[in-house]
């Protein structure tokens, strides 16, 4: 778990909120608590390490409405939704909205701890992927226009001769550009280059 990961607990029920915070704190998982979705949004305006636990039914803004708000702001912090009024349509709606987990009350300590640890692990994986994506995009930015065109041909699986024909240059020139692309992208193999380009194209 990242050292700065925090679990944000949002519930208008003070007793439930504090009990959940106590459970996680005892498991060495840092928490912050909020009595409403609006209080959370005011306190945490952007992306943070960690995850969110929110109740579904709350005044002013429901848990589902909060998830939609986060989604529209491109905030991808994992969300665990808890409720005492679960039904299948609500669970489906929550999952479509991007909720990581949907847990019905009453839940066991093991269930919520397992969901939190899983969400934090996924968050860390996403953060690591973002770092890799940024590094790859920086390398892509160093390619010249022609190098970029040759790379696109390589990624499409085209042979050097085909790329040469498409770009109206010699096959030998394609080989030179290809070598430049592999060096600048720090790719040892063509399959590694393809993987890099796929990662860079992820939203």
What pLDDT does residue 156 have?
A: 87
List all residues 6 or more positions away from 7 whose beta carbon is below 8 Å from its beta carbon.
24, 29, 30, 31, 32, 50, 51, 52, 53, 116, 120
Query: Looking at the structure, do residues 179 and 91 belong to the same domain, yes or no?
Result: no
Query: Looking at the structure, do residues 59 and 14 belong to the same domain, yes or no?
Result: yes
Query: Looking at the structure, do residues 58 and 111 belong to the same domain, yes or no?
Result: yes
Summarised one tens digit per residue, pLDDT across range 106-155 is 888 998 999 898 888 887 777 777 788 889 999 999 999 999 999 999 98
Query: Looking at the structure, do residues 23 and 73 belong to the same domain, yes or no?
Result: yes
Q: From CA 154, how far away is CA 150, in angstroms rounded?
A: 6
Domain boundary among 65, 99, 127: 127
Using the Cα atoms of residue 72, residue 75, residue 80 and residue 84 in order, give the sign of their dihedral: negative
Query: Looking at the structure, do residues 64 and 115 belong to the same domain, yes or no?
Result: yes
Summarised one tens digit per residue, pLDDT across range 17-56 is 999 999 999 999 999 999 999 999 888 766 667 889 998 8
Q: At what angle do helices 145-155 and 171-185 cross, to 10 degrees?
A: 90
What pLDDT does residue 8 have?
A: 93
Domain CATH code at residue 196: 1.10.10.10
Domain boundary among 74, 95, 127: 127
Q: From CA 97, how far away is CA 93, in angstroms rounded?
A: 6
Query: Looking at the structure, do residues 150 and 115 belong to the same domain, yes or no?
Result: no
Domain total for the chain? Answer: 2
Confirm if 106 and 82 have CB atoms less than 8 A apart.
Answer: no
For range 166-194, the mean pLDDT:
93
Query: In terms of pTM, does the model score above 0.75?
Result: no
What pLDDT does residue 203 have?
A: 55
In a domain, 133, yes or no: no
Confirm if 44 and 31 have CB atoms less than 8 A apart.
Answer: no
Query: Looking at the structure, do residues 111 and 55 belong to the same domain, yes or no?
Result: yes
Summarised one tens digit per residue, pLDDT across range 75-97 is 778 899 888 765 667 777 777 77
Domain of 149, in residue numbers = 142-200
Query: Looking at the structure, do residues 14 and 86 belong to the same domain, yes or no?
Result: yes
Domain boundary among 64, 92, 127: 127
Query: Looking at the structure, do residues 45 and 88 belong to the same domain, yes or no?
Result: yes
Query: Looking at the structure, do residues 110 and 35 belong to the same domain, yes or no?
Result: yes
What pLDDT does residue 18 have?
A: 93
């Amino acid at each position: 778990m990242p050292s700065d990961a925090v679990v944000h607990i949002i519930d208008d029920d003070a007793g439930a909120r504090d009990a959940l915070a106590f459970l996680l704190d005892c498991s060495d998982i840092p928490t912050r608590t909020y009595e409403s979705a609006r209080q959370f949004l005011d306190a945490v305006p952007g992306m943070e390490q960690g995850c969110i636990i929110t109740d579904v039914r709350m005044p002013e803004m429901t848990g589902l409405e909060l998830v939609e708000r986060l989604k529209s702001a491109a905030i991808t912090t994992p969300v665990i939704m808890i409720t005492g009024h679960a039904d299948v349509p609500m669970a489906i709606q929550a999952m479509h909205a991007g909720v990581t987990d949907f847990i019905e009350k009453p839940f066991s300590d093991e269930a919520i701890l397992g969901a939190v640890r899983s969400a934090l692990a996924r968050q860390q994986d996403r953060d690591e992927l973002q770092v890799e994506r940024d590094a790859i995009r920086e390398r892509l930015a160093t390619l010249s226009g022609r190098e970029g065109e040759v790379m696109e041909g390589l990624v499409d699986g085209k042979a050097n001769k085909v790329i040469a024909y498409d770009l109206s240059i010699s096959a030998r020139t394609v080989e030179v550009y290809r070598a430049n692309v592999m060096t600048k992208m720090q790719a040892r193999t063509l399959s590694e280059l393809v993987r890099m380009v796929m990662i860079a194209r992820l939203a």
